[in-house]
Amino acid sequence: MFELCRFDDLADGEARRFELDGHRLAVVRIGDEAYALGDRCSHQDISLSEGVVDPDEFTIECWKHGSTFDLRTGKPQTLPATRPVPVYEVSVRDGMVVVDLP
Ligand code: FES
């Protein structure tokens, strides 16, 4: 379990990049929930946290070629990416964003 930041420090509907314990994470806040994906597009080595979040669809779009990834499953929804990115379990405890790394 790793504490990332205060939940209030995450902007609603935006992604933020974290690096810890050898993992690159894209952490997204939508409303009262936080989501964490591997911060590397499965198509090429592009940071997903630089992409655009769609809070209605729970997706983040890779800016390079436009693949969108489901924040809850890590699965790509549009080409050219075909492989999922890892998803990490995130919770909010005492106002802090906590992530579970494998
Ligand atoms: S690098 Fe992300 S879709 Fe190509």
pLDDT in tens, 1-57: 899 999 999 999 999 999 998 999 999 999 999 999 999 999 999 999 999 999 999
Instruction: Give residue 95 CA to ligand 1 midpoint distance, Å.
Output: 33
Q: Is 41 in the pocket of ligand 1 (CB under 6 A)?
A: yes
Burial of 18 (0-12, 13-18, 19+ CB in 10 A): middle
Cβ atoms of residues 40 and 24 within 8 Å: yes
Residue minimizing CA distance to atom 1 of ligand 1 = 44
Nearest atom, ligand 1, residue 41 CA: 2
Q: What is the rounded CA–CA span in Å between residue 75 and residue 91? A: 20
- pTM of the predicted model, to two decimals? 0.95
Q: Is 65 in the pocket of ligand 1 (CB under 6 A)?
A: yes
pLDDT score at 102: 84
